[in-house]
Amino acid sequence: MTVTRPDLSTRLSRRAQTMNASAIREILKVTQQPDVISFAGGLPAPELFPIEEVRRAADTVLTRHGAAALQYSTTEGYLPLREWIAARHGIPARNVQIVTGSQQGLDLLGKVLIDEGDTVLVEAPTYLGALQSFQPYLPRYAQIPTDEGGIDVQALEAVLREQAAQGRPAKLLYAIPNFQNPTGRTLSLERRQALVELTARHGVLVIEDDPYGELRFSGEPVPSLYELGLALAGGDPDHNHVIYSSSFSKTLVPGLRDAWVQAASPVIAKLIQAKQGSDLHTPTLNQMLVTELLPVLPRQIETVKRAYGARAQRMMAQIETHFPAGVDFTRPQGGMFLWVTLPVGLNTTALLPHAVAHKVAYVPGSPFFALGGGENTLRLSYSSATDTQIDVGMAALGAVLKEALA
Amino acid sequence: MTVTRPDLSTRLSRRAQTMNASAIREILKVTQQPDVISFAGGLPAPELFPIEEVRRAADTVLTRHGAAALQYSTTEGYLPLREWIAARHGIPARNVQIVTGSQQGLDLLGKVLIDEGDTVLVEAPTYLGALQSFQPYLPRYAQIPTDEGGIDVQALEAVLREQAAQGRPAKLLYAIPNFQNPTGRTLSLERRQALVELTARHGVLVIEDDPYGELRFSGEPVPSLYELGLALAGGDPDHNHVIYSSSFSKTLVPGLRDAWVQAASPVIAKLIQAKQGSDLHTPTLNQMLVTELLPVLPRQIETVKRAYGARAQRMMAQIETHFPAGVDFTRPQGGMFLWVTLPVGLNTTALLPHAVAHKVAYVPGSPFFALGGGENTLRLSYSSATDTQIDVGMAALGAVLKEALA
């Protein structure tokens, strides 16, 4: 038998050739040195995980459900869990699809909604993972500018008109209205109302990604785009043009990969078919575990909110103390992230090695822009930082920024 | 606010419009009547699940790993599990990607390999779920005829030549060489050797789906296509044109959704990127659970093999006794399925309501053919049937077939 050594990289699909290793993944490698204080990741605080409760829940679920917890189960997901989720928004369980992490929800939505060349509207900046989920379906992106209040709705209207005038109306808008990743910003009620009405008028679907909504530590809650869309559809979830995505990753634990999508029945019907081909179903045990843990959830959310709120306050105070004039930053009312804007002309990617040399790390902002921009921005995560790390880290970063500005 | 009631089914992607509810799912609904003995499903026997061992493993994993078992983890998968899998074929862990069920492996492979219009070669019949995974990437299918010995390699060669002559060489061959779903057939060593050399010569990738390989209850093991491909590549896993997919679903339990893909590094690199956008990673806890259960696996496999072997033998004996002359069936040496062929002209889909009226159910064979055919075939699963169900069920089905043939 002669040895055959084909070059297998030549057999990949066109879509695979457009995929890249996540810029952030590569950046994080630089920052992973043992003595560097890193605000670059976006991990929920592991010291707050209800480990003991999960262990008891595993015992209970395996005792009560036995083999059923370990057998194949329906693609739609575990009905008691779907019913609990549906009740939060007063919709039927048939409008809820359980998915293996929000990331799968975004992938499946891309699969059933996006044709090659379809225009997807995203915030500038937006969640990088969503771009990765949509990319294999080869959309075109249009960026919607944002300011301290989130999406600029007048700019959105201009883009929608422009796309429609070009005869290629946008397919969907992807938005994170609460404590956005990466900026920590929250969209106001007035803008939400305008956004929902505008997109409905233009026939543009909205994917509302809301992993952090429950983690509000200051200010007043604002209705979700989903709720406003539901009202606009006369309360009928099967005609709501807003699709809602959320998860137990940030409120409970991320490692179980339990999340969901709420959508109109025609979309759910296709999500089910797409999910059958994608992983058949989300692990049975994991869905039963989360269901068993639902009574713990309110207390857990309180714990997480209190911790993240204190960490955010401390980080903001330390930034006030240590950062030079001319550096701007967001003041999140919830979630895990804070966004820093340096004077135009400074480049946070070029600056990162200096920061790492000063034993502090962040994520440069530009990878979060679908079409580029934001070279002078950076993201800080406070969710899993200790008080000392925040104090020492912000002082160090302040020194780096002062040096850069000098 | 005026009520807006958009028709959301008009916003779906072209690929979503080609997706259909699984024919089998619809058929199974017909068969789900409480007093019907169903051989239609394909479920592993739940009474054999090592529930107590899983419960102990959950306790151990959560005690030993704590928050790490519930935190985000790497896309590639849990290293100790990847190392164990890699060692089975003597390859490095970097050639192993953990996936959320084999179904996800097939979806990700479709994503990174198949361009619209690419020719995918499949057995006639083949696993329906694979067709569902590949469908969103809009391939063309070519069916390769099979006989009692599995894929007809001469027919494969003719198809490969024909495709090449048309200037559009096939992209990949999808095959299940061991105890195939749906036929229960196994490909001989001679044919495996020929298949691997042929596909290598034609530059056609092979996806070897092997969920049942460990469940051989009679006959002698045959090397996998992956091993033969590895030898052909001079032992270098990065030039093996065979991609191997397997799972813990049939050997341990399916509800944890732990499976893997082994492939050359250029393919794995793209699988990682695709999986990042698809579900970030397979649930951390589930990967640690399976790793903790590896010592139990050999005993568990013995238990399952013994049970399935006895059930298969009993089903074959009952078929011999009750089925009329002119009805042919496969004699599986492992796995979960047996395939029945009626005389040409009979239609198993039309016959199903009669069978259900006689309190017995099967899956008609035609949905397993990518391009149609097999109207006179049906699949029986013995994996989760009791002795009485087999005896009563085969007698009832025999009576239905005699009536149909009369």
Region at B138 (left for phi over 0; alpha for psi -120 to 50; beta for the rest): left
- CA A229 – CA A107 distance, rounded (Å): 22
Angle made by CA atoms A43, A27, A22, in degrees to the nearest 5 = 80
- Enumerate the residues of chain B whose CB falls inside 8 A of the CB of residue A278: 103-104, 107, 133, 278
Average pLDDT value over all residues in chain B: 95
> Burial, A113: exposed, middle or buried (Cβ in 10 Å; 0-12, 13-18, 19+)?
buried
Residue pair A100/A283 in contact (Cβ under 8 Å)? The answer is: yes
- Please give the ipTM for the structure prediction: 0.95
Per this entry, what is the length of chain A? Answer: 406
User: Could B238 and A8 be called an inter-chain contact, meaning their C-beta atoms sit closer than 8 Å?
Assistant: yes
**A-chain residues near B239 (CB < 8 A):** 4-6, 8
Mean pLDDT of all residues in B64-77: 96
Question: Largest alpha-carbon pair distance within chain B?
Answer: 72
Residue-wise pLDDT for B189-226, tens only, equals 999 999 999 999 999 999 999 999 999 999 999 999 99
Segments of chain A with pLDDT less than 50:
none
Distance (Å) from the C-alpha of residue A330 to the closest C-alpha of chain B?
A: 26
* Domain B71-295, second-level architecture: 3-Layer(aba) Sandwich (3.40)
Question: What local confidence, expressed as pLDDT, does residue A213 receive?
Answer: 97
User: What does the CA dihedral A372, A374, A375, A377 come to, rounded to 10 degrees?
Assistant: -150
Residue by residue, DSSP assigns A77-101 as --HHHHHHHHHHTT--GGGEEEESS
In Å, how far from its chain's centre is CA A308? 17
Instruction: Report which DSSP code applies to A346.
Output: B
Three-class SS of A361-382 = ECEECHHHCCCCCCCCEEEEEC
* Inter-chain CB proximity B255 and A135 less than 8 Å: no
Q: Do the beta carbons of residue B308 and residue B215 sit within 8 Å?
A: yes
Regarding beta strands B377-381 and B337-341, do their DSSP bridges make them parallel or antiparallel, or are they unpaired? antiparallel
pLDDT score recorded for residue B1: 55
Q: Who's near A378: CB < 8 A, 6+ residues apart? A: A339, A340, A342, A348, A362, A363, A364, A365
Q: 10 Å Cβ neighbour count for A88?
A: 11
* Confidence at residue B345, expressed as pLDDT on a 0 to 100 scale: 95
List of residues 6+ apart from A131 with CB closer than 8 A: A122, A141, A370
CB-CB under 8 Å, B70 with A132: no
Note the pLDDT tens digit of each residue in B346-368.
Answer: 999 999 999 999 999 999 999 99
Q: Is A337 helix (H, G, I), strand (E, B) or coil?
A: strand
Q: Choose the closest CB to B111 out of A15, A63, A257.
A: A15
Which residues on neighbouring strands pair with residue A82, listed in sequence order? Answer: none
Which chain A residues are closer than 8 Å to B249 by Cβ? Answer: 72
Q: What topology is assigned to B20-50+299-405 in CATH? A: Aspartate Aminotransferase, domain 1 (3.90.1150)
The DSSP H or E segment spanning B98 is strand B96-99
Residues of A in contact with B16 (CB under 8 A): 111-113, 270, 273-274
Interatomic CA distance for residues A109 and A270, integer angstroms: 9
Which of A162-171, A295-304, B336-345, B373-382 is least confident? A162-171
- Per residue in B106-139, pLDDT (tens digit) is 999 999 999 999 999 999 999 999 999 999 999 9
CB pairs under 8 A between A and B: 302
How far from chain centre, in Å, is Cα A406? 35
Relative to beta strand B172-175, strand B119-124 is parallel
> Which pairing describes strands B259-262 and A37-38: parallel, antiparallel, or unpaired?
unpaired
**Spatial CB neighbours of A27, under 8 Å, sequence gap ≥ 6:** A40, A352, A363, A364, A367
Q: Pinpoint the alpha helices (H) of A118-237.
A: 128-134, 153-165, 189-201, 225-232
Phi–psi pair at A153, nearest 5 degrees: -70, -30
The conformation of residue B385, written as its DSSP 8-state character, comes to: -
The whole-number pLDDT of residue A1 equals 54
Strand partners, A341: A328, A377
Cα A214 to Cα B199: distance, rounded to the nearest angstrom: 53
Separation CA A250–CA A176 (nearest Å):
14
* CATH topology agreement for domains B20-50+299-405 and B71-295: no
Query: Is pLDDT of B28 > 80?
Result: no
Helix or strand run (H / E) with residue B395: helix B387-405
Nearest to A210 by CA among A186, A184, A176: A176
pLDDT tens figures, B266-282? 999 999 999 999 999 99
pLDDT at B33: 79
- Rounded to 5 degrees, what are φ and ψ at A173? -115, 130
Residue B246 CA neighbour count, 13 Å, CB half:
23
| Beta strand segments in A326-373, E | 328-329, 337-341, 360-361, 363-364
Does the distance separating the beta carbons of A6 and B241 come in below 8 Å?
yes
pLDDT value of residue B239: 96
Say how far apart CA A69 and CA A250 lie, in whole Å. 24
CB contact (8 A) between residue B278 and residue A104 = yes
Contact status, residue B70 vs residue A255, Cβ threshold 8 Å = yes
> Under CATH, domain A17-50+299-405 is a member of which superfamily?
Aspartate Aminotransferase, domain 1 (3.90.1150.10)
pLDDT score of B283 more than 70: yes
* Cβ neighbours of A112 (radius 10 Å): 27
Which three-class secondary structure state does DSSP give residue B155? helix
> What is the least distance, in Å, from the CA of A342 to any CA of chain B?
30
Residue A237 is classified by DSSP as G
* Residue B11 pLDDT greater than 80, yes or no: yes
Contacts B257 to A, Cβ<8 Å: 100, 279-283
| Residue A345, phi then psi, degrees to nearest 5 | 110, -30
**Which chain B residues are Cβ-neighbours of A32 within 8 angstroms?**
none
Q: Hey, where are the domains in chain A? A: 17-50+299-405, 71-295
Q: Which of B133, B231, B239 sits opposite A277 (nearest CB)?
A: B133
